[in-house]
Amino acid sequence: MEDFDVHYAMSGDARLAYTVRGNGPHEIVFVPAWLSNQDVAPTPAYGAFWEHVSTFATVLMYDPRGSGLSDPVALDDLPTLERWADDLHTIVEAVGFTQAVLIAESAGGPVAMLYAATHPERTRALVLINTYAALAWSEDYPAGVKAGDYEHLVEYIERVWGTGRFLQALEPDVDIDTSRVRHLARVERQSMAPATVGAIFRQQYATDARAILPVISAPTLVMHVTANGFVPVEYGRYVATHVPGARLVELPGRDHSMLNGGDAQQIMTDEIEEFVTGTRVESDPARMLTTLVFTDVVGSTDRVVAIGDRAWRTVLDRHDDAIRRQLERFAGSQRRFTGDGVLATFDGPARAIRCGSAIRDAARQIGLDVRVGIHTGEVERRGTELAGVAIHLAHRVCEVAGPGEVLVSRTVVDLVAGSGLTFEDRGEHELKGIPQPWRLFSVSN
């Protein structure tokens, strides 16, 4: 691969390595799987592909935290989907992109999906290559893989990591000689530490981003190799079916990696160039994915009666100040106070949960019990106001929560896999005005 200057951007406590190539009029961000290193090209065709893309675009490439030239991660603090999306936003802002086409492959797909849904105003379009929204099998998701089968795969990867055999297995249509295997072994070793590989794979299995798909408003191109043995085409078909207006292109062959110079690469190159440089279809920045937090003081009427209006006003002022401090601490946006509670929004569900718990704890210090309800869903911006069923659902979740409880929807739980947060299943609930029952979970203290 041609040498490019490597730059670093700080995202929280991690330095993220990135490069910029080309100076074309279109902005492209490549969202890789965790197997990435800005100094090492996995295949000669990889460099040729990006060299061509750079003729019509300015291309931003980066190593996710924990991989390549970016800072490593601790096994007890693996990046969540939310954190990876935050890192992507940091990189985009560092370069100054305002209308980026996100091209994502494999494990980078859910990261790009979440970013496109939460930052529609910054996402011009989305290209998803051999990726998925979820990996785990369930009765409503037969495309997924059973847990036992997936664990066998992870154990195999852990055994062969650093030998080149894993990457070799992703390209069954390519004749790979001994020299090439040695190069693939270096790519594996220089992309991620052996101890991290299995942990990342297992975390990916626990992540479910399916709820994000209907909220994506950016024009979306889904490309998937039809006989892909690593990420089956059913995953891509599911994504294309559930992202509004998405177009699916199925490509010939069996290789998971399409950047190996084969027929699939040429088709993919032509499709991406036409998709990026053709007639631009505007996304709808008014629609976005967000995490909604409702809080409510328990027993406020009885408290007013007991202490009187003036004393209650003093207590409520302290309550409101505590909420503002916690929203600032966790980067939440206050939408409105609701009498003796608040509606706030967050870009990430894990931050929302931690903020909800902090608000609950701060309220206890001033002698109040607060219930918290949290849901992640699609909202529509109408000026400074928000609208949508997701708001009503979050409010109903709050109403179900008990005193001092932080209660979240199933969608929230699916999106925070790997965050270290734990939950207790509270079962299914009929929520007033919501057509189907929802499974709710209490955040463990």
Per CATH, domain 7-277 is 3.10.580.10: no
Residue-level pLDDT at 281:
46
| Cβ pair 16, 9 in contact under 8 A | yes
Q: Are 241 and 235 in contact (CB under 8 A)?
A: no
User: What one-character-per-residue DSSP string does 11-63 give?
Assistant: ETTEEEEEEEE---SEEEEEE--S---TT--SSHHHHHHHHHHTTTEEEEEEP
Instruction: Select from 117, 116, 75 the least CA-distant residue to 379.
Output: 117
**Pairing of the two strands 287-297 and 341-346:** antiparallel
399, 306 contact by CB (below 8 A): no
Residue ranges matching CATH 3.40.50.1820 in the chain: 7-277
- The pLDDT score that the predictor gives to residue 314 is 83
Tens digits of pLDDT across the chain (445 residues): 456 799 999 998 999 999 999 988 999 999 998 889 998 887 777 888 888 898 899 999 999 999 999 999 998 888 899 999 999 999 999 999 999 999 999 999 999 999 999 999 999 999 999 999 999 999 999 999 999 999 999 999 999 999 999 988 888 887 777 878 898 899 999 999 888 999 999 999 999 999 999 999 999 999 999 999 999 999 999 999 999 999 999 998 888 887 766 677 888 888 999 999 884 445 566 788 899 999 988 877 777 777 777 787 888 888 888 888 999 888 888 888 777 788 999 988 999 999 999 999 998 988 888 999 999 998 987 766 788 889 999 999 999 999 999 999 999 999 988 788 999 999 999 998 888 899 999 999 6
Q: Is the pTM of this model over 0.85?
A: no
Our measurement of the distance from residue 103's CA atom to the centroid of its chain's CA atoms, rounded to an integer in Å, reads 14
- Both tokens assigned to 157: 């990867």
* pLDDT the model gives residue 1: 46
Q: Which two tokens stand for residue 46?
A: 């990889």
At residue 229, the 3 state secondary structure works out as coil
Segments of the chain assigned to CATH 3.30.70.1230: 287-443
What gap in Å lies between CA 59 and CA 34, rounded to an integer? 18
So what's the pLDDT on residue 20? Answer: 95
Report the pLDDT value the prediction gives residue 417, as an integer from 0 to 100: 83
CB-CB contact of 166 with 160 (8 Å):
yes
Task: Show the tokens assigned to 124.
Answer: 């011009």
CA distance linking residue 67 with residue 261, whole number of Å: 25
Is 3.30.70.1230 the CATH number for 287-443? Answer: yes
What is the predicted pLDDT for the residue at 260?
67
Angle at the Cα of 407 from the Cα atoms of 113 and 146, rounded to 5 degrees: 50
